[in-house]
Amino acid sequence: MGEGAQFEQVRPVRLYQRIVEQIEGALAQGELKPGERLPSERELVTQFGASRSTVREALRVLESNGVVRSRPGDPNGPEILPFSTQGLTKQITRLTQVDEVGLGELISFRMILDGSANMLAARLRTQDELASMEATIEVMRETIDLGYEEFSEADVAFHDAIARVSRNSLIQVCNQVVRGVVLSLISDKISRSRNSKALMRQSLHHHEEVLEAIRAGDGPAAARISRRNLYDYYAGYLPKGEREPLLALLLDVKPVV
């Protein structure tokens, strides 16, 4: 064996982790599907050949991860839940809290995601899908006077509609998660701002510009406009020294000195 190879001592894997791996593996293979039930706790103890406490710990981990849901007093086994972005949101939020991922990186990633989604939407959208986007814009327009929370919900609907048109579920999931984390970091500043209505009108105008490019079938323009609009809307929340990566995504924007 070469002298340069260095190995670490192996660590024992707890039994409940093996149970978690098997259940998650069955989900990945399609042997278990959302809405179905796992066997009862007693049956799981028998099938896994493990103690009741080990099975309960595995189920607790699975429930914490949003994989299953148990109801107190339910004689049936835990229910398999549909996929949720909650776990991914928690992980990205945790990364921001420990300063592994900053607001600038999140905004930059949003610019990449939105730009790609809008380019695809401009090329792939049907007339019915275009009508759905137009309807969300109309709701945004109507909710400006209602408040930031209602406006934000309509904003989410617009981006979800575009992400669906992109025919890429990963864009849809990642866009939803990253947008939510970004807004969780700055939403108080927006909602409490004296000019919150002005910000909402600015946002509406930006969305109308993107929609017009999508309506025209101009993918590059839809991508370019969305990246620029995101920069204009969010860059002010970053120190100037952290804006360079965002500016690099704007081919027609010169760095601000």
Domains and CATH numbers, the chain: 15-80 (1.10.10.10), 86-247 (1.20.120.530)
Entry field: residues in the chain:
257
Q: pLDDT per position in the chain (257 positions), as tens? A: 556 677 776 667 788 999 999 999 999 888 999 999 999 999 999 999 999 999 999 999 999 888 999 887 777 889 998 877 777 777 887 877 777 788 899 999 999 999 999 999 999 999 999 999 999 999 999 999 888 888 888 998 999 899 899 888 888 888 888 888 888 888 766 656 667 788 889 889 999 999 999 999 999 999 999 999 999 988 888 999 899 999 999 965 444 44
Q: Any idea which residue has 């017009």 for tokens?
A: 212
Task: Find, among 102, 5, 82, 85, the residue nearest to 36 by Cα.
Answer: 82
pTM of the predicted structure, to 2 decimals: 0.70
| Structure token pair of residue 177 | 């998660």
Cα 59 from Cα 204, distance rounded (Å): 45
Sign for the pseudo-dihedral over CA of 191, 146, 210, 257? negative
